[in-house]
Structure 1
Amino acid sequence: MTDSCNIKASVVIPTKNGGSRFRSVLKAVLEQKTNWPFEVIVIDSGSSDQTLAIASANPAVRIINVEPTDFQHGRTRNTAIGQAKGEFIAMITQDAQPVAENWLHSLVEKIESDEQIAGVFGRHIAYDDASLFTREELVQHFSGFQSQPVVQLTDQERYRNDPGYQQFLYFFSDNNALLRRSVWERHPYPEVDFSEDQAWARIIIEAGYKKAYSHDAVVYHSHNYGLWERFQRSFDESMALDELFHYEQPKGLLVPLRSWIGLTLRDLRSVRHNLSKEGLGLILPTIRAPIDNLMRVCGSWLGVRSALMSPTLIAFCSRDKKLKRMKRKS
């Protein structure tokens, strides 16, 4: 797998109590088929389960430890990349499992197709335990990038005035991505608590580089959020994106109502199209879906108003703030 003198790609996996799923992720990474050497780096921030034992069981895996209180999405990834040896850096998370043995090859093949490509992100599909709505949402989301897999900032006026165009250019997911090291050396991850991947994409897009999407570099990656967890996750994402990008978007009370109706109608269409195949298994997810959508849109709507909220209310709504409080106490 590795030849320390000529490593083309380094795979970086940040971990914290990855559990049994991390075992499957690491196994899939180590089984990648390439015609060039690659290395695997696990950067762990204080796991107390079997994560470190799983990683250390394979001598080919290099482990970097950081203090839990020092963890930060941007800074921790920069630490790992700074110690990596590859020309390209594949970023993956402890719960994103490559689907096939060509995952890493597909990412590298895409970035080598054009020396102006600074980063590539790959497709996500849902795990088998995900709901129909999660599965279809991922399919729809990533299919939107197929028609224009390589993008570059070419229309400055539209970029200044069109938030949708900005969001399309900024989207980047380092749950499944590849960075060109030479670009990272000039433009490392910004040291932010959330959405470090999209913040980095903005930097490289504004610097004139291209960003690419690989439909063939596929990972399993999905979450079965509880209802309150869904609210908190949506709140944190919305707050982070608003703080980073200051998107101009409607903020009236009709916004979450329209979003909720749109999402719920989308889910009902999915039920109708899949009823014969899914059968009675759709009953509980269908009942739950409108509530889940309500938690999502309410969290997002409040997230863009965080500047108007008290610290106590923000702490109540934010899962990220709660985790940070727990780290400080421990």
Structure 2
Amino acid sequence: MEKPIVSIILRTKNEACALEKVLESIFKQRLDLTFEVIVIDSGSTDATLDIARRFKTRIYEIDSTEFSFGFSLNFGIGKAEGGIVICLSGHCIPVDTQWMKRLVAPLLADVDIAATFGRQEPIKGLNPLEEIMLLNQFSPDVYGEIKVVFSNANCAIRKQVLVSHPFDEVAVAAEDFIWARTLPDGLGIQYVHDASVYHSHPLSLEYWSKRFYRDAFFREYIKGVYDLEWQGMIPGYDASGLFVKLLKQLEWGVRGISDMVLYMTKNRYFKQMLLVPVFVALFHFNNWKGGRDGKRKYGGS
């Protein structure tokens, strides 16, 4: 049996709603390279595994207590046979049949490129608040501004680089940021604007409360352990001086709310607009609480 050139690692837990579309899109890709699909599941209780078994995949299960994004990916990398590893979240749906070809092309063309990452587009109407963030972070063309360093929700990396430079397994947020910022000198990362996936999370206040807290908590881990500044979703948190910090956060808050309201009005998201004050309040409360708890544990200044 021919050894695959590309190994696709899907991280899953209760992804039954999207996984079939993800796998259908993967197996419709048009490219000359051989590939394999590896599913790393961390305790699904829905039909995720049944769906995965209907496709040509290799499935590995890990205990949910062992899970972190970094551990799950490193585990999958250890099982991968391809020289190029694609990391894809279990609910990220490739937009077209050229996604994989475009994502790996820079790695095939330039030995100094260690990794690529593609655009993430929101699913229209599912979560207008996240919709705004994704449109702002990922440029749809080669000339636009990219506001993320790297994302392993939709990326391709040389396996030999991952073996020598694995993902952090403690952090449960921003392990991709840590990986990119600590990449050895001489290795490049390239954004591929047209290797796009649909990636959205439902507008669940419980989910976003936990995520805001988690991001703020591990912001302090990143600072304390790696001496790196990760702004996460809010600029100004690391500004010197309390007054400057508060001014920057106030500026961000006013501009952010204004942008949300204008965007939601333009797209007629009137019902969801009522959640904007709640969403913003949850963000600031959990950002403060997570940052406080993270500083206590990791000693970030």
Short-chain TM bin = 0.7 to 0.9
Aligned equivalents of 1:185 and 1:136: distance in 2? 36
Aligned twin of 2:136: 140
Aligned equivalents of 2:63 and 2:9: distance in 1? 17
- Note closer, same or farther for the CA distance 1:91–1:308 as it changes in structure 2 (3 Å cut): closer
Q: What is the Cα deviation at residue 309 of structure 1?
A: 5.7
Flag the structure with higher helix content.
Answer: 1
Aligned twin of 2:232: none
Aligned twin of 2:24: 27
Aligned twin of 2:80: 84
Percentage identity across paired residues of the two chains = 28
1:15-164 aligned at under 5 Å gives the runs: 15-58=12-55, 60-143=56-139, 146-147=142-143
Aligned twin of 1:155: none
Letter in structure 1 aligned against 2:57:
V
8 Å Cα contact 2:127-2:200 kept in structure 1: no
Letter in structure 1 aligned against 2:78:
G
Q: What is the Cα deviation at residue 241 of structure 1?
A: 2.5
How high is the TM-score relative to the length of structure 2? Answer: 0.84
Aligned equivalents of 1:298 and 1:254: distance in 2? 17
Aligned equivalents of 2:175 and 2:288: distance in 1? 21
SS at structure 2 position matched to 1:128 = coil
8 Å Cα contact 2:219-2:294 kept in structure 1: no
The number of residues matched between the two structures is 281
Aligned twin of 1:249: 238
8 Å Cα contact 1:260-1:294 kept in structure 2: no
8 Å Cα contact 2:218-2:294 kept in structure 1: no
Root mean square deviation of aligned Cα: 2.5
1:252-267 aligned at under 5 Å gives the runs: 252-267=245-260
Q: Which runs of 5+ in 1 are unaligned?
A: 151-167, 311-330
Q: What is the Cα deviation at residue 133 of structure 1?
A: 4.1
Are 2:201 and 1:201 equivalent residues in the alignment? no
Q: What is the Cα deviation at residue 37 of structure 1?
A: 0.6
SS at structure 1 position matched to 2:189 = strand
Aligned twin of 1:13: 10
Aligned twin of 1:165: none
Are 2:282 and 1:295 equivalent residues in the alignment? yes
Q: What is the Cα deviation at residue 93 of structure 1?
A: 0.9
1:162-181 aligned at under 5 Å gives the runs: 171-181=149-159
Letter in structure 1 aligned against 2:10:
I
Q: What is the Cα deviation at residue 16 of structure 1?
A: 1.5
How high is the TM-score relative to the length of structure 1? Answer: 0.77
